[in-house]
């Protein structure tokens, strides 16, 4: 084998090694992307779950929220108004985080779509949230505000209650 033949064989081996390396990198990127998306889903579920946990772990807060869903801010006690404002801010930020991750392809439509429907149902049922959003939307990402305003104007007939008497939309 001549020196030229050996050089040719070395180039073929080097090219094959580059192809194998590229395949390996591609597989690693795909696995990393999947892991990132799964982590994003978990983070969204935990953030929204923490919001729901606030309701189910504290009966007095659940009562305040129930009252706040139909009352105006002026009809609430100062304490309940503060508690609900902080709660609404937290809830909107949890949904905003989900929307941000969806916009940046960390969440699939199959995850964001049901979250958006849930938010639409909550907006329809909760006068306090609608009032809070109207006052504090300047604190939110403009693209999320646009989504929320679309949800507010839609009349999807969604409900957040499982009982026979859904809450009414008074505002």
Residue 145 lies in a domain: yes
Residue 8 lies in a domain: no
Among residues 64, 35, 77, the alpha carbon closest in space to that of 126 is found at 64
Among residues 144, 155, 75, 77, the alpha carbon closest in space to that of 115 is found at 144
Range of the domain at 115: 38-153
Spatial separation of the C-alpha atoms in residues 45 and 40, rounded to whole Å: 9
pLDDT, averaged in runs of 10, over the chain (171 residues): 85 89 87 79 82 88 91 91 93 94 90 92 92 95 96 78 49 43
Residue 84 lies in a domain: yes
Among residues 90, 58, 55, the alpha carbon closest in space to that of 69 is found at 55
Residue 129 lies in a domain: yes
Q: Taking the mean position of all CA atoms in its chain, how far away is CA 171?
A: 25
Spatial separation of the C-alpha atoms in residues 64 and 55, rounded to whole Å: 10
Residue 165 lies in a domain: no
Residue 23 lies in a domain: no
Residue 20 lies in a domain: no
Number of domains in the chain: 1
Radius of gyration of the chain (CA): 25
Residue 148 lies in a domain: yes
Spatial separation of the C-alpha atoms in residues 131 and 77, rounded to whole Å: 16
Q: What is the pLDDT of residue 97?
A: 93
């Amino acid at each position: 084998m001549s020196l030229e033949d050996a050089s040719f064989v070395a180039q073929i081996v080097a090219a094959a090694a580059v192809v194998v390396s590229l395949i390996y990198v591609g597989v690693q990127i795909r696995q990393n992307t999947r892991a990132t998306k799964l982590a994003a889903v978990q983070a969204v579920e935990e953030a929204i779950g923490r919001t729901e946990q606030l309701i189910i772990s504290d009966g007095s807060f659940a009562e305040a929220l129930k009252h706040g869903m139909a009352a105006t801010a002026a009809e609430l006690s100062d304490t309940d108004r503060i508690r609900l404002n902080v709660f609404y801010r937290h809830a909107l930020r949890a949904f905003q985080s989900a929307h941000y991750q969806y916009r940046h392809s960390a969440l699939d439509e199959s995850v964001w779509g049901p979250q958006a429907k849930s938010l639409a149902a909550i907006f329809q049922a909760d006068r306090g949230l609608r009032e809070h959003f109207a006052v504090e939307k300047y604190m939110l990402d403009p693209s999320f505000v646009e989504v929320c305003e679309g949800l507010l104007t839609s009349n999807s007939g969604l409900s957040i209650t499982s009982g026979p008497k859904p809450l009414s939309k008074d505002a």
